[in-house]
């Protein structure tokens, strides 16, 4: 056994314990900032009794706006929706074969995939506790299928460790569990926990650790057929006169600690909003936006770029132009009330006469940057060569992660990987690249995990969210202090205008947050409208 395993230093031990406990700490922080909250959805809305002739204009056909429109129309309001794009759904967006769009800077992004292949430019998975999304999917007939978040056959990768060779997630997890069990059993056997557990508890704890960590009779985690039943074999059991099974060798603990792969596990696989089961719409996440759009289609004016929002004592006037011809004639919509679903990154650049506190709140929420690259390959080599069916590989390279499709498994022919997805510094770097450069970069990095990239690549597409004209960013960023100071004001009804969208929720960046915001906006505006008659 190596020296590290015999006697880890205090610093190494503290590092390991801290990283093991990190998932709980991260979840607490995420909950505080509104990233891991469970949905508050309980039941279907049933608004009734709109004042006679009452009208509402909704700005933006994202999921928040469409939810409000759907529910308020049922209540009897005359609803008009103005949408900048030629489609509804907002960031609930799927790029399909033949789709194109122009990003800021004039870059033309194309999707030249084979028919039937697609790429989710925005949301791509649904946590099991996002009840409102599932409610409307069921109501509107959007078929769902499992999304595989965690796959032991996927990889964890560090460029400067293990000679750059990716390691299987399942092997890393088994080894971490084994080493933690060994260290804890040593603490029990040396009396370090005598003040915490009695003799009977110690015996039970040792028995449990031996089984959980797959330890030998001396409470060591070592290479054996038993450990290989969990982490996998170097030669797998066969039949007939095939070679005998051979156990695999655990990764030395010091190498695991130094690699930092533990952080991949606690930050990407154990957080509440990424726990199994997860789901996705069959055919792409855009199916949800398409379904809402279908339900509200006759209410929507597409290609409508809002230029001014003005409220007075009796209603709201909205000026807009054709987004394909912004120099053309200005048109106007007048309504009693307005629900604005436009992202704050765009709304703060529009002429709108709301109160000073509301303007301050609108300006207090910056938008995060994010990038995604979709790569289409001639064959599904990750399945055929590496036995990877769904799941996500993580790396310290700028591409951050590679996600394998959870649909069309075992089929022959092409398939699409999410070849890059990240935030922060790496995202700013990707955003400086033109569409072709983003694809080339994802290929150059990705081949260090999958050498098949070079031979099998067919086509690619991408989304750099700060370059998307109708959102200018990915989602609204809240801090604990900004939420305390501005959130209630942002969600308040400002005379005859109120806001909706994921930025007006405790679940930012998720479709659930947008839908719940739309439901809440519809309910509160309906209450005020009825009160005023």
* pLDDT tier for residue 381 given thresholds of 50, 70 and 90: very high
pLDDT the model gives residue 501: 98
Non-local (6+) Cβ contacts of 154 within 8 A are 168, 169, 388, 391, 392, 393, 404
Instruction: Express each pLDDT in 135-194 by its tens digit.
Output: 999 999 999 999 999 999 999 999 999 999 999 999 999 999 999 999 999 999 999 888
From the candidate CATH numbers 3.90.950.20, 3.20.20.60, 1.20.1440.240, 3.30.450.20, the one assigned to the domain spanning 3-32+169-259: 1.20.1440.240
Whether the Cβ atoms of residue 441 and residue 398 lie closer than 8 Å to each other: yes
Whether the Cβ atoms of residue 293 and residue 300 lie closer than 8 Å to each other: yes
pTM: 0.90
Whether pLDDT at 377 is above 90 = yes
Whole-number mean pLDDT of the chain?
Answer: 92
- The helix (run of H) or strand (run of E) holding residue 370 is strand 370-377
Structure tokens given for 462: 């991408």
The CA distance from 162 to 346, in Å, is: 46
Whether the Cβ atoms of residue 480 and residue 468 lie closer than 8 Å to each other: no
- 155 closest CA partner among 264, 279, 274: 264
Place of tokens 């081949």: 447
DSSP state of 50: P
Q: Which CATH class is domain 55-84+287-366+475-532?
A: alpha beta
Whether pLDDT at 12 is above 80 = no
Percent of the chain past pLDDT 90, that is, above it, reads 86
Residue 135: other Cβ atoms inside 10 A: 18
Burial readout 92-125 (b: 16 or more C-beta within 10 A, e: otherwise): bbbbebebebebeeebebbbebeeebbbbbbbbb
Structural domain boundaries in the chain: 3-32+169-259, 55-84+287-366+475-532, 97-127+144-153+276-281+368-467
Average pLDDT over residues 482-490: 98
Whether pLDDT at 419 is above 80 = yes
pLDDT the model gives residue 42: 80
Angle, vertex CA 93, rays to CA 299 and CA 133, nearest 5: 75
The CA distance from 421 to 120, in Å, is: 11
Question: In sequence order, what E strands does 363-456 have?
Answer: 370-377, 392-395, 401-403, 415-423
338 by DSSP, 3-state: which?
strand
CATH 3.60.20.10 for domain 97-127+144-153+276-281+368-467: no
- 67 closest CA partner among 401, 499, 520: 520
Instruction: Express each pLDDT in 438-462 by its tens digit.
Output: 999 999 999 999 999 999 999 999 9
* pLDDT tier for residue 266 given thresholds of 50, 70 and 90: confident
Whether pLDDT at 18 is above 60 = no
Percent of the chain past pLDDT 70, that is, above it, reads 93
Burial readout 239-265 (b: 16 or more C-beta within 10 A, e: otherwise): eeeeeeeebbebbbbbbbbebebbebb
């Amino acid at each position: 056994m190596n020296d590290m395993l015999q006697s880890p230093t205090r610093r190494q031990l503290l590092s390991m314990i801290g990283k093991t406990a990190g998932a709980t700490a991260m979840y607490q922080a995420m909950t505080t900032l509104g990233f891991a909250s469970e949905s508050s959805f309980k039941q279907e809305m049933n608004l009734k009794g709109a004042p006679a002739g009452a009208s509402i204009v909704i700005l933006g056909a994202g999921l928040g706006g469409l939810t409000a429109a759907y529910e308020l129309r049922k209540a009897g309001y005359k609803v008009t929706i103005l949408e900048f794009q030629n489609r509804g759904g907002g960031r609930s967006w799927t790029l399909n074969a033949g789709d194109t769009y122009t990003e800021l800077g004039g870059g033309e992004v194309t999707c030249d995939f084979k028919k039937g292949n697609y790429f989710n430019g925005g949301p791509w998975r649904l946590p099991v506790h996002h009840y409102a999304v599932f409610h409307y999917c069921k109501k509107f007939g959007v078929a769902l299928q499992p999304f595989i978040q965690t796959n032991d056959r996927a990889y964890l990768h560090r460029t400067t460790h293990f000679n750059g060779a990716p390691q299987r997630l399942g092997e890393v997890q088994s080894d971490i569990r084994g080493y933690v069990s060994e260290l804890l059993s040593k603490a029990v056997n040396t009396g370090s926990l005598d003040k915490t557990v009695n003799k009977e508890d110690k015996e039970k704890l040792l028995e449990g650790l031996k089984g959980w960590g797959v330890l030998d009779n001396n409470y060591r985690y070592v290479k054996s057929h038993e450990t290989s039943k969990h982490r996998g074999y170097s030669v797998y059991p066969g039949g007939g006169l095939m070679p005998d099974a051979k156990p695999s060798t655990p990764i030395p603990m010091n190498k695991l600690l130094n690699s930092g792969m533990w952080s991949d596990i606690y930050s990407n696989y154990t957080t509440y909003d990424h726990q199994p089961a997860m789901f996705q719409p069959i055919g792409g996440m855009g199916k949800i936006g398409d379904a809402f759009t279908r339900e509200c289609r006759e209410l929507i004016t597409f290609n409508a770029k809002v230029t001014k929002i003005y409220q007075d004592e009796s209603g709201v006037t909205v000026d807009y132009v054709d987004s394909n011809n912004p120099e053309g004639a200005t048109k106007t919509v007048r309504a009693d009330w307005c629900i604005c679903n436009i992202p704050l990154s765009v709304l703060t650049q529009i002429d709108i006469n709301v109160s000073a506190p509301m303007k301050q709140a609108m300006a207090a929420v910056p938008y995060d940057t994010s990038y995604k690259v979709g790569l289409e390959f001639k064959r599904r080599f990750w399945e055929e060569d590496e036995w990877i069916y769904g799941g996500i590989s993580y790396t310290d390279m700028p591409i951050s992660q590679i996600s394998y499709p959870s649909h069309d498994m075992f089929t022959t022919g092409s398939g699409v990987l999410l070849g890059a997805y990240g935030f922060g510094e790496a995202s700013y770097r990707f955003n400086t690249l033109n569409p072709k450069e983003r694809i080339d970069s994802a290929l150059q990095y990705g081949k260090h995990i999958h050498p098949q990239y070079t031979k099998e690549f067919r086509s690619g597409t991408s989304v750099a969210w700060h370059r998307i004209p109708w959102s200018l960013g990915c989602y609204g960023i809240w801090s604990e202090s900004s939420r305390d100071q501005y959130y209630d004001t942002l969600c308040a009804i400002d005379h005859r205008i109120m806001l909706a969208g994921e930025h007006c929720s405790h679940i930012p960046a998720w479709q659930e947050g947008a839908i719940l915001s739309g439901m809440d906006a519809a309910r509160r505006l309906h209450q005020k409208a009825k009160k005023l008659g």
